[in-house]
Amino acid sequence: MSPKRNPSQLSIFPEISGDLAAPSIATIPEFDKALGNLIKMSDLGAFIQINIQGIEKIYSLNLHELHTPPDFLQNNITPAPITVHLFPQDTRNEIKKLTYEVKAFFNRGNSFKTSFGYFLFRSHFPSWKTYLQERQDALNQYLSDTLSKGV
């Protein structure tokens, strides 16, 4: 439920939103109308939300947790935690560029931006599917070429 209230918009389940004073869809005709509007929207297209995660993944190694024999430690130096990125900076930058290309598909001719992401018009579903597959193949190829050097 969105915390924003629109007086012309009815809530299907106001008890879930926590605002019991909000008007709800209490009759079958109101529910049918809301469902009809949802069906009309789905006939026009679909909401697409793009979340790309894991590019900036960092791991920390705490050397205090390792059982290191004293002969391998330098005197009077306490081992500091080491932070390691999953991908080097150049690789992260290239992956970010490839992910921006995914978002570049959406424009005023095939979609519009919403608070949920993008609303893609149904007529552009086949080209979105093809474009997304091409971008995924390019990303997979880049990662394979970059990370499998020497193997």
Q: Report yes or no on whether pTM surpasses 0.75.
A: no
In a shared domain, residues 66 and 140:
yes
Per-residue confidence (pLDDT) for residue 68, from 0 to 100? 74
Domain hosting residue 10, numbered range: 1-48
In a shared domain, residues 110 and 69:
yes
In a shared domain, residues 68 and 13:
no
Interstrand relation of 58-61 and 82-85 (parallel, antiparallel or unpaired): antiparallel
- How many CB atoms within 10 Å of residue 111? 20
In a shared domain, residues 69 and 35:
no
In a shared domain, residues 117 and 54:
yes
In a shared domain, residues 57 and 127:
yes
In a shared domain, residues 44 and 58:
no
Burial of 56 (0-12, 13-18, 19+ CB in 10 A): exposed
In a shared domain, residues 76 and 88:
yes
Per-residue confidence (pLDDT) for residue 38, from 0 to 100? 72
In a shared domain, residues 41 and 53:
no
Per-residue confidence (pLDDT) for residue 2, from 0 to 100? 45
Per-residue confidence (pLDDT) for residue 123, from 0 to 100? 92
With CA atoms as reference, report the closest residue to 55 among 28, 89, 6.
89
**Rounded average pLDDT per 10-residue block, the chain, 151 residues:** 53 53 65 75 83 82 75 71 86 88 92 89 93 92 82 56
In a shared domain, residues 28 and 56:
no
Per-residue confidence (pLDDT) for residue 1, from 0 to 100? 39
